[in-house]
Amino acid sequence: MQVTREMFNDVMVPNYNPAAFIPVKGQGSRVWDQKGDEYIDLAGGIAVNALGHCHPELVAALKEQGEKLWHLSNVFTNEPAIRLAKKLTDATFADRVYFANSGAESNEAALKLARRYALDHFGENKDQIISFKQGFHGRTFFTVTVGGQTAYSDGFGPKPGAVDHAEYNDLEGLKAIMSDRTCAVMMEPLQGEGGIISPTPEFVKGVRELCDQYNALLIFDEVQSGIGRTGELYAYMGLGVAPDILSTAKALGGGFPIGAMLTTAKIAESLKPGTHGSTYGGNPLACAVAERCFDIVNTKEVLDGVKHKEQLFRDGLAAINEKYNVFEEVRGKGLLLGAALKEEYKGRARDFLVAATEQKLMCLVAGANVVRFAPSLVVTDEDIKEGLARFERAVEKVVNG
């Protein structure tokens, strides 16, 4: 069958509007389309492809497990799931792991656990969940309601209740709506979809203290910021504050769908048998690939490399900005970076994205005003430099029309 981009419109639900070209092969941070044209990938499948495309160790792990065991229901357990859970708990604050298929499902589990824990320990009146405006936590109805962007949650009928939103980096605003009724505060330790916004150290510390004061659980959504993305295994490790619950996905499987919720033994007790579940959560194939990805990322070489590569991006973007004066600032940490547009280019992030695609570069946006980069954690220096050279040509085209 000859597949074309036009066929997408005939057979797919129109909630996506993908690019005109169709990628068919990837290797490292290079991608080839149906015509054989080569692209540099500085998008990473939206911070998913932690080790690039078709990393040989991940391919080997998939092949090896694929000849052993593909799937079991959670009536049984399996070795890859237990090994991965052990490595996650050994490396983090957590004692217990729940596996899911995605970030949204991991966040759904985190929110349900927080509500159930509050009910078990403090009674049914402790149900308020607070999150932050411009936050993003997934597309299930619960997670999209907790996410702070009404554009994603409006239009689907009555929303889950007892959910409130505060301004990110505004401790006084959070303090004003917290009380003994608050069961959890959910936040990204680095806002992704909301524009690549970093928290101040004082804000993160203050959120932790408020949660302790009101016996509320602190949930960190590290779906996008986790697994080496910021140069730490998880972003919380560079903030000096540990959460009570953490969600992780995206880069966890290096491209194979998997998510996880991490928490302490005490809090985990509230998810007794039958309270929550997932058909594919803990799938042996997914866990085997994720284990190998975790082993590679959780090394000094890769994590230190992320910090080095961040500086290459910052230097390259600064050089582009010296010529064209289009960016207000470069935000973010590690290899989750956002070039925020100046006032005269506000609302035109997609124009830069489209122009980049024409220059055979894959990048992202974070809202209408930020061009986002979330490449492989092991992208080569040469690919960064060539990718930014292509991005400069895209910037020139937007600026000069």
The residues spanned by each domain of the chain are 5-55+300-400, 57-297
Q: Which two tokens stand for residue 13?
A: 């639900």
Q: 149 by DSSP, 3-state: which? A: coil
Q: Average pLDDT in the 286-295 region?
A: 98
Please give the mean pLDDT across all residues of the chain: 97
Structure tokens at 162: 């007892």
Q: 233-246 burial by CB neighbour count: b if 16+ within 10 A, else e?
A: bbbbbbbebbbbbb
- The predicted pLDDT at position 194 comes to 87
Is residue 401 predicted with pLDDT exceeding 90?
no
Residues making up the annotated binding site for N(2)-acetyl-L-ornithine are 139, 278
Which residues make up each annotated binding site?
103-104, 136, 139, 221-224, 278-279
- Domain topology for 57-297: Aspartate Aminotransferase; domain 2 (3.40.640)
pLDDT (0 to 100) of residue 387: 98
Instruction: State if pTM tops 0.95.
Output: yes
Q: Which two tokens stand for residue 191?
A: 């806002």
Say which amino acid occupies 261.
M
Secondary element (H or E) of residue 47? helix 44-47
Mean pLDDT on 340-358: 97
Contact 94, 233 (CB under 8 A): no
The matching CATH number, chosen from 3.40.50.2300, 3.40.1170.60, 3.90.1150.10, 3.40.50.12240, for 5-55+300-400 is: 3.90.1150.10
Residue written as token pair 């540990």: 242
Cα–Cα distance measured from residue 41 to residue 52, given in angstroms and rounded to the nearest whole number: 9
Q: Known binding site for pyridoxal 5'-phosphate: residues?
A: 103-104, 136, 221-224, 279
Residue 361 CB burial class (10 angstroms; 0-12, 13-18, ≥19):
buried
Tokens of 286: 């997914």
pLDDT tens digits, 82-121: 999 999 999 999 999 999 999 999 999 999 999 999 999 9
Q: Give the tens place of pLDDT for each residue, 356-383.
A: 999 999 999 999 999 999 999 999 999 9
Q: Return the closest-CA partner of residue 276 out of 290, 261, 291, 287.
A: 261
d(CA 67, CA 284): 11
- H or E stretch including 331? strand 327-333
